[in-house]
A and B are shown apart, each in its own frame.
Chain A
Amino acid sequence: MNVENTQGQPETVAPAIELRGISKAFGPVQANKDISIRVMPGTIHGIIGENGAGKSTLMSILYGFYKADAGTILINGQETQIPDSQAAIAAGIGMVFQHFKLVENFSVLENVVLGAEEGEMLRPSLAKARKLLKELADEYELHVDPDKLVEDLGVGMQQRVEILKALYRQADILILDEPTGVLTPAEADHLFRILEGLRAQGKTIILITHKLREIMEITDTVSVMRRGEMTATVKTKDTNVEELAELMVGRKVLLRVDKKPATPGDTVLEVKDLRMVDDHGVERLKGIDLHVKAGEILGIAGVSGNGQSELLKVLGGFANGTGEIRINDDPIDLTGKHSDGRSRRERGISHVPEDRQHLGLIMDFTAWENLAFGYHHAPEYQKNKLLMDNAGMIETAQGEMDRFDVRPPNPMLSAKNFSGGNQQKIVLAREIERNPDLLLVGQPTRGVDIGAIEFIHQRIIDLRDQGKAILLVSVELEEILSMSDRIAVMFDGHIMGERLPAETDEKELGLLMAGVTDTKGAA
C-alpha cells in the first residue's frame, strides 16, 4: 500500500471531490443535512454509516440522480454542476450501484458500450469497445467474456461489468455503493485487489459500506454519516473499529443485551438434510441439518446469499424443499397444499421476514390490517362465519401497538407512514403476540434506529425466556454474537459448523463464513 504516498501529498493539491454544504430533503424527510467532505486524488475514501444514514442519497447527488437543495460540488478544484448522469460521466465520475444497472439480455459488450457509443452506427463502436475492453481487462485483472449475455453471468462477474463500464468511460473517480453485500468473501478479496490496483493507477475511489472490517482493511480515509449528517472524517490508520462504531451510532456501546443463560428444553425444530432448488435451477440449500430447542436462540451467521434467505423461506412455507422438518417431533409438509405460510402458522411457527417492506407488511394497509396479516383466519378475528370482526381487530391492534411501543400508536394509519423501526415493531408485535412455539427472525434490526434495536432485541429474548425456540438469521456478526445461545454458520448452502458464542470470536466465525472449515489453527 502506498498510504505514505497519498498522505505525503502537499496540501496545495486540489481534492478530487469536494462537497460543500450539501442538503437534500425528500418531502418531509431530510436525507442530507449540510454535508461537507474532501476526497483527495489517488486515495480510497470510505463512507460509513447505518442503513438510512443518507450515504446513498449523497452519492446519487454526486452522480446527478438528484439535485441538491443547497450546496456546491467541486471536482478537481473546479465548481461543477451535475444536473444529470451525463454531466457526472463528463466530470470523470463512475458509479457502481448496489443493484447493478445492466441490461440482462444484452451482451457484456453492448452493456459497456451503451450510452458511450462512438457514432450513430453500432458496429464500429462495438469493434472499438472490444479492443479497449481487452486492454482494460489485462491492465486491471478484469476478465469477462465480452459476448456473454449478462443474465448468464454470476453476481461477481456482473459487478466487473459495472466497473468496466465506468473505466470504459474513462472515469477517474469511482464510487462503489455497498459492493461486497452480494459477494462471497473470496470475490470481495478479489474486488479489493482490483481497487488497490486502480488506486495505484491514480484513480480516486469512494467506498460506501456499513461494514467496519472493510473500512479498516482498504481505505485511506473514512467519513462517518449518521442521520443525514457527516459526523467525522478521520485517517483510517488513526482510528479503530470501536471509535468508528461509536461515531456511527452516536454512543459508546453498539450492542448491549441483558440476558440470562439459556435453559434449553425439548427440541422444537429439527431439520434434516434440507435441500432447496430455486426457480433458476440453482441448488440453494445443500443438505442442512440443525435443531433448535425450546428456550434457546440459534443464530445463523453468514454473508448474504449463502442460503439463509432460502432457509427462512422453506421454514416459513413460501418455497418448496426436500428433506425433513419436524416441529415438536411431528413432520411438516415441504411441498404441496399444506406447505404454505398459513399451514406453518397453524403449526406454531411465526416468522419475522428479512424484508419487512416487501414481505412483512402491506404498505398501503392500515396498521390494524397489517397486525392481522397472515393470521386473518384466526378465530378471534371473526365476527361470524362470513365476516371479519373489524372493530375487534382494531381494538386488538391498539393493545398490541401499546405493548410494543409503536409510535404513533394509531391503528388507523397506513404502514407506509411509520418509520422503519416502528414498522418492524408492528411486524414483531404481530408475530410474537401469537405466542408461537418457534419464531423465525430475519435481520430483525436492519434499517432500524438504535433505540428500537434494544427494544426489539429485548422482546426476542423475553420470548426465549418464556421457553420458546428462536431461529435468528442476521448478517450482523455483533448481533449474532450478542443474541445467540448457539451459532451456526452458513456458507454456500451448507452449515459450516456450530459454535458457542462464549467459545468463539468474530475472526473464527469470519473464517467459517468464508468456507474455511479448519479453524483450529486460526482461532
Chain B
Amino acid sequence: MDFLTILQIMDSAVRLATPLLLACLAGLFSERAGIFDIGLEGKILASAFFSAGVAALTGSVWLGLLAGVGASMVFSAIHGLASITFQGNQLISGVALNFFASGITVLVGEAWFSLGGRTPSLSGGERFSPIELPLSETIMPVPVAGPLYHDLISGHTFLVYIALIAVPASWFLLYRTRFGLRLRAVGENPAAVDTAGVSVIKLRYAAMVIAGVLCGLAGVYLATGLAAGFVKEMSAGRGYIALAALIFAKWRPWHALGATMLFGLLEAIANRYQSIDLGGIVIPVQFMQALPYILTVLILAGFGGKAIGPRAGGVPYVKER
C-alpha cells in the first residue's frame, strides 16, 4: 500500500466518521442526562431527508440545513415528551421514532418529488462544498506533510470542521461549566439535582435540544456533504454505529472522537476492498462491516474495562412518595 492510497483511505475515513461523530456526541449529551437515545438513527434519517428535500426545493443548502436540524429537533422533542414528561419507556420511544423516520421520509418524498422516495440530485448551491484551508496549495510540494495537509486536513465541507470542533466544545461544556456539572449529575442521580433546587425536566429537555441539533447536523452532512441528495434508508444503521461508538467511548467526548474515527476507518477500508489478504488469511468484507458491532459487544461484555453508563440512564424521574 503506498502513501497515496493510505491518504485516500484516511481522507475517506474522516468523511465517513463525521456523521458518526456528530450523532455520537448527540447521544452523549442525551445519555449523560439519563435519557437513552436509540432514536439517533431516525433523527439522522429525518434530518437527511428534510435537508436534501428543502435544499432541492429552494436551491439553498442553508435552508436545507435549517430544515434538517429542525426535523431532528422535532424528533428530539417527541422523545422528550415521551421519556421526560410522560415518563414512558425511552427505548420504545426510540424504536417508534426510528420507524416513523423511515416511513415518513418516503411518504413525504413521494409526495414532493415522486421519485420513489429519493430527492433529486443536489448540485451547486444545494450542497456544501469543500473548504480549502489557507496555504494548502503552497505547502503541497512539501513531502509527506504537504499532501497530508492538502488532502487529509484541508478540503472538507464546513460540517466536518464543526464536528471536530464539537469535541473539545462538548468536553468543555460537560466538565468545565455549571451546566455540564448539572447535566452529568442528572444522568447519575436526578433526585440529587432536584433537591438541590435545579429542574430535572429543564435539564433533560436542554440535553434533548443539544442532541437534536447535533444529530440534525449529522443528517445534513450525510445528504448534502457526503452524498448529493437523499435516498431511502440512507442512514443505513449509522445511528446504531454511533450508539456503539458511544459505548466504546464510555460516554466521553475525546474517546468518542477516537471511536468514531476507528469505525469510520473500518468503513472506509470495507468500501475500498472486497476482501483483505493478510498473509494467507483472507478477511471478508462482511467481517469488516460487522467489526464495529463485534467490538462493541466485546466492550459491553467487559473486555477492556467495564462500560458502565450513567446510572440513572433509561429511568424516568418520578419523585418518590
| Residues of chain A having any CB pair with chain B under 8 Å | 26, 57, 63, 65-66, 84-86, 88-90, 95, 97, 101-106, 110-111, 113-117, 119-123, 125, 165
Contact = CB atoms under 8 A, between A and B. Distances in A.
Nearest to A119: B178
Contact of A103 (B175, B176, B185, B319): B185
Highest count of chain B CB atoms <10 Å: which of A111, A113, A122 = A122
23 contacts: A26-B321, A63-B195, A65-B194, A86-B197, A101-B192, A101-B196, A103-B192, A104-B188, A104-B311, A106-B184, A114-B181, A114-B193, A115-B182, A115-B196, A115-B197, A115-B198, A116-B196, A117-B181, A119-B178, A120-B178, A121-B176, A122-B176, A125-B178
A117 B178 contact: yes
B192 A121 contact: no
A95 B191 CA distance: 13
Contacts of B197: 84-86, 88-90, 115-116
Contact of B177 (A63, A89, A120): A120
Contacts of B181: 110, 113-114, 117, 122
B254 interface: no
A97 B188 CA distance: 18
A85 B195 contact: yes
Contacts of B175: 122
Contacts of B188: 103-106
Given A104-B311, A110-B181, A121-B178, 18 more contacts: A65-B194, A65-B319, A84-B199, A86-B197, A89-B197, A95-B195, A97-B195, A102-B189, A105-B188, A105-B311, A114-B181, A116-B197, A117-B178, A120-B179, A121-B176, A122-B175, A122-B177, A125-B178
Contact of B194 (A85, A102, A111, A125): A85
A122 B185 CA distance: 14
Contacts of B212: none
Interface of B is mostly: helix
Nearest to A65: B319
Contacts of B199: 84, 86
Nearest to A88: B197
Contacts of B176: 121-123
A86 B201 CA distance: 14
Contact of B189 (A65, A84, A103, A117): A103
Nearest to B175: A122
A349 B2 CA distance: 74
B27 interface: no
Nearest to B192: A101
Given A65-B319, A103-B185, A111 B192 contact: yes
Contacts of B198: 86, 114-115
A57 B319 CA distance: 12
A415 B260 CA distance: 49
Nearest to A94: B195
Contacts of B189: 101-104
A114 B192 contact: yes
B251 to A, nearest CB: 12
Nearest to A110: B181
Query: For chain B, which range describes its interface: under 10, 10 to 19, 20 to 34, or 35 or more residues?
Result: 20 to 34
A63 B177 CA distance: 27
A90 B197 CA distance: 9
Contacts of A125: 178
B70 interface: no
A84 B199 CA distance: 9
B53 to A, nearest CB: 38
Contacts of A95: 195
B180 interface: yes
Contacts of A111: 192
Nearest to B308: A105
Contacts of A89: 196-197
Contact of A114 (B177, B182, B319, B321): B182
Contacts of A86: 197-199
A122 B195 contact: no
Nearest to B185: A103
Given A121-B178, A122-B180, A101 B185 contact: no
A85 B176 CA distance: 25
Contacts of B194: 65, 85, 101
Highest count of chain B CB atoms <10 Å: which of A95, A106, A110 = A106
Interface string B156-198: 0000000000000000000111111110110011011111111
A84 B179 CA distance: 19
Contacts of B178: 117, 119-122, 125
A85 B196 contact: yes
B181 to A, nearest CB: 6
Contacts of B184: 103, 106
A63 B184 CA distance: 24
A103 B197 CA distance: 14
Highest count of chain A CB atoms <10 Å: which of B179, B182, B189 = B189
A90 to B, nearest CB: 8
A63 B196 CA distance: 11
B179 A114 contact: no
Interface string B33-50: 000000000000000000
A91 to B, nearest CB: 11
B26 to A, nearest CB: 22
Contacts of B193: 114-115
A24 B193 CA distance: 24
Contacts of B182: 114-115
A65 B197 CA distance: 10
Nearest to B178: A117
A104 B175 CA distance: 16
Contacts of B196: 85, 89, 101, 114-116, 165
Nearest to B176: A122
A399 B308 CA distance: 48
A85 B201 CA distance: 13
A120 B179 CA distance: 7
A106 B175 CA distance: 12
A520 B196 CA distance: 48
B259 to A, nearest CB: 21
B310 to A, nearest CB: 10
Highest count of chain A CB atoms <10 Å: which of B176, B184, B197, B199 = B197
Contacts of A117: 178, 181
Contacts of A120: 177-179
Nearest to A100: B192
A85 B311 CA distance: 23
Interface in B190-221: 191-199
Highest count of chain B CB atoms <10 Å: which of A84, A85, A97, A114 = A114
Interface in B28-68: none
A85 B189 CA distance: 16
Nearest to A111: B192
Contacts of A85: 194-197
A89 B198 CA distance: 11
Contacts of B195: 63, 85, 95, 97, 101
A304 B55 CA distance: 66
A377 B196 CA distance: 49
